[in-house]
Chain A
Amino acid sequence: MTENAKTAQREPLVRIVKRGDITAGKVWLIRALAALGAVLTGALLILALGHNPAAVYGQMIVGAAGSKIALVETIKIAIPLLGAAVAIAPAFKMKFWNIGAEGQIMAGAIAASYFALFYSQSLPRPLLLGVMLLAALAGGALWGVIPAVFKAKWGTNETLFTLMLNYIILGFEQYLQNGPWKRPSSGGFPKIAMFDEAARLPRLFGVHIGWVFVLLLVIGMTIYLRRSKQGYEIAVVGESERTARYAGMNVGRIVVRTMLLSGAVAGLVGFLQVSGANYTLTENTAGGIGFTAITVAWLAKLNPVVMVFIAALLAVLQKGSGRIQTEFLIPASASEVLTGIILFFMLGCEFFINYRLVLRGRERKNGQSD
């Protein structure tokens, strides 16, 4: 008997067991529980800060969608997030870890700004906007294709490469801002001039028409990935380069082509930012969008349609947490923690969809799993 007691003790306390197929209902139950858990954990934090959780959560929603102005601001946050997530989708589908959407957005923004700053008098408005769009596509594509060419030719690591290119383009923007493109009348502040009216994107239903662009991108990217031959090639390369080569695909060319596309779409987001949202170029034009977009893309499992909802959720969180900062004087860092808690639960619940935990002593006696 003592022997038995000893062995029981030596069994691991918790074991992780892979689940088999799981019903859709159970998946949504887990997700709902995770959302509830996030709200409750967040409430603990709010209580610890000395506020009423219900009031704070209420203000978050009011701040994000309570008025037309608030809603417009929330949508303005969601547009570049969604655009950048769509941009990295084909690269990630190919398992090319493009961490450089941030830099590609900036490259597109700089290219578009060049025409906005120096050709706004000489070109008619539609043409000017058209040229800015093309320049942004080209700028983003260039910044995206460099690591792809190096990867295809010499097998460099794209994660580090794209990450480093972000800092190079940011440095270049700071140089422009402090030097050649600095507005002479801005006194000591290194700032770039506001764009002329002609270089600003028109509005539709109160928001700059970038939202139309990104929704078209969502539809276009969905069709491209699911229905086109190129999309099929991307999927095969992502699953197995060896299979792609076996099927006669030119893997290097597919990598380069896909990163041209990914970079170009990110460049377009840069154009929307400078011409639609900010009307100027600053070092915060990309502002971490390229990184947050990775979260959006992963949460959506690279499905562009799902990205619409994820981007909207993140925008609501961001805008709402801004509101509670001013309303309750909750520090910015605390509201970021709150956002972090919600994301943690949402990402974490995926683990429980794929695995379950078995406690020591359970299941071994009756031999029956739930």
Chain B
Amino acid sequence: MAFAWRSRVCALRHCSITGAPGCGPGAKGECGTNNPNAIEVRNLTKRFGEVVANNKVCLSVRRGEILALLGENGSGKTTLMNMLSGIYFPDEGDILVGGEPVVIRSPRDAYALGIGMIHQHFKLVDVFTAAENIALGLEGGPVIDRRALARSIREISGRYGFDIDPDKKVYDMSVSEKQTVEIIKVLYRGADILILDEPTAVLTPQEADRLFAVLRSMRDDGKAVVIITHKLGEVMALSDRVAVLRKGSYVGSVETAQTSPQALTEMMVGRAVALDIDRPEVQRGEERLKVVDLTCISAEGVTMLDKVSFSAYGGEILGIAGVAGSGQKELCEAIAGLCPVQGGAILYAGQVGGVEVHENLVGKSPMEIIKKGVALAFVPEDRLGMGLVAGMDVIDNMLLKSYRGSRGPFVDRGPARALAQQVVDRLAVVTPGLTAPVRRMSGGNVQKVLVGREIASSPEVLITAYPVRGLDINSSYTIYHLLNEQKQRGAAVLFVGEDLDVLLELCDRILVLCGGRVSGVVDARWAGKEQIGLLMTQTGKGDAQ
């Protein structure tokens, strides 16, 4: 079966070599079926300045099929879908809906054509009910017939198996309920082509399964469903067909039944990749960080962390799992001195030049933490908005943690330049030069610069929040390797992650957060995905230690 797929890729490669990429009138292999495709794009190109986000992309989606659009971050998936939903206007190429060429200039045009997009970030009004949000922005008379509205919402819910109360306010809803409202909103407007942008990023495994069931019933109802994702497991479980983009270009599409995760990865990356993550055996060291009853309350009065207690030891990677927004961000930022703490203690134990340092980090600013000699490094989730200065070059970004070190009122850029060169060489950072703003670098290279700088300070505790989010497979493995190096050096590494497969392969132990509480700590060697998935939704105590 893999062989069949290979020959197809060869055909496509051949196609591009002859200078006729994409699916011109000659290449009817994809679009030449009897019943017209629900939607089809031909040679669609979109540029942002020098960057070609989509290069002559061709794609078709049939009615009654779930198509997974697969590709690494930056491969142009979202750009392509934004052109279909009227957010961007293509530079070149054609879009056909039901076989007819169309021009989509705005989301309104897209709705009129029956295309509905469910974005990664929900666009709902918090103080409105589900029904009000669904009716929002619809044309029609000045009066909303609430009863008819509620009736048709129930009718849609019943048909596809949603569970929704039309009168519930959005602020009372869970993330998965909000997503349901978004989907019904699109269906209510009569969409028969649904595009979902990474819909499972915010869901627990169980919620994701429910969503998949709904999507399958929509497919059986004859709708065309496009799901954007980079999780291979979901692609295999859900889709009928997979289309792959790589660096803005269409690579090809395969029937899901005739491919494998390994083959899909090769299509995505363009060459063979080993998918196993290394977990070196290291003797567990001393306790470096002990968090006791840590409580954080946000400015709005919401309890973000509720009596969180755990320990992190040298020579281990402690994974932190949880649904997005379960307190991961607050936990990292509280330890780094960036988030006000209402109660509890964060005890640090480390060494600086042979001298023992014991500090309670609670109530200390980042500056005080640095001055006390606490060897703590933090790779925040928001790389360009917190970890780095987007408009500055690599050298000036290296200065961020060390500029105070030189004597006198002036900055000494010499050591920073040396460090920058070292990071670029050692981590194979692709950059136009040391003096180019880091904003112009790709996500993976930005992250290498950030991690490189944080590791350079030889931390005893290294906190990393979603360090591989948005990275291509190669860069992800570089980061895993660097974290393992730090573990072997004896540092305590915290790894906040979202992909359970990665957490289970890389980490030694996994702490699960749910609603700001620790719902369990499991040994990653023995734990299963289902067990962690359950812990992500319940605040009970875990059994394993």
Contact present for A12 and B89 (CB under 8 Å): yes
Q: Assuming the A-B contacts A15-B89, A19-B49, A367-B45, are A243 and B385 also in contact, with contact meaning beta carbons closer than 8 angstroms in the complex?
A: yes
| Residue from A3, A236, A239, A247 within 8 A of B100 (CB atoms) | A3
Output the least CB separation between A290 and chain B (Å): 27
Assembly CA distance A7 to B105 (angstroms): 11
Q: Assuming the A-B contacts A20-B51, A242-B385, A246-B336, are A232 and B370 also in contact, with contact meaning beta carbons closer than 8 angstroms in the complex?
A: no
Assembly CA distance A246 to B367 (angstroms): 9
30 pairs, CB–CB < 8 Å, chain A vs chain B: A3-B101, A10-B105, A11-B105, A15-B89, A17-B47, A20-B47, A20-B51, A21-B49, A229-B411, A232-B411, A235-B389, A239-B389, A239-B391, A240-B386, A240-B389, A240-B390, A242-B385, A242-B386, A245-B338, A246-B338, A246-B366, A246-B380, A246-B387, A248-B367, A248-B401, A249-B367, A250-B367, A363-B91, A367-B43, A367-B45
Assembly CA distance A213 to B382 (angstroms): 44
Cβ-based interface call for B404 (8 A): yes
Contact present for B386 and A246 (CB under 8 Å): yes
Q: Which of B365-398 contact A (CB under 8 A)?
A: 365-367, 369-370, 378, 380, 382, 385-392, 396
Instruction: Write the residues of chain B forming the contact surface with A, with a CB cutoff of 8 angstroms.
Output: 43, 45, 47-51, 89, 91-93, 100-103, 105, 336, 338, 365-367, 369-370, 378, 380, 382, 385-392, 396, 399-401, 403-404, 406, 409-411
Chain A interface size band reads 35 or more
Which residue from chain A places its CB closest to the CB of B409 in the assembled complex?
A228
Output the least CB separation between A164 and chain B (Å): 28
| Residue from A10, A18, A229, A240 within 8 A of B403 (CB atoms) | A229
Cβ-based interface call for A278 (8 A): no
Q: Assuming the A-B contacts A232-B399, A248-B365, are A7 and B102 also in contact, with contact meaning beta carbons closer than 8 angstroms in the complex?
A: yes
Contact present for A17 and B91 (CB under 8 Å): yes
Give the dominant DSSP class at A's interface: mixed
Contact present for A227 and B101 (CB under 8 Å): no
Cβ-based interface call for A230 (8 A): yes
Contacts of A333 in B (CB 8 A): none
Contact present for A21 and B392 (CB under 8 Å): no
Assembly CA distance A20 to B102 (angstroms): 29
Contact present for A248 and B370 (CB under 8 Å): yes
Q: Chain A, 226-266, contact with B by CB distance < 8 Å: what is the 0/1 string?
A: 01111110011001101101111110000000000000000
Assembly CA distance A247 to B392 (angstroms): 14
Which residue from chain A places its CB closest to the CB of B56 in the assembled complex?
A367
Contacts of B400 in A (CB 8 A): 236, 243, 247
Output the least CB separation between A241 and chain B (Å): 10
Cβ-based interface call for A122 (8 A): no
Q: Chain A, 1-44, contact with B by CB distance < 8 Å: what is the 0/1 string?
A: 00110010011100101111100000000000000000000000
Assembly CA distance A21 to B436 (angstroms): 13
Contacts of B380 in A (CB 8 A): 246
Contact present for A239 and B392 (CB under 8 Å): yes
| Residue from B51, B89, B91, B101 within 8 A of A4 (CB atoms) | B101
Contacts of A245 in B (CB 8 A): 338, 366
Contact present for A18 and B49 (CB under 8 Å): yes
Assembly CA distance A229 to B91 (angstroms): 45
| Residue from B50, B378, B391 within 8 A of A246 (CB atoms) | B378
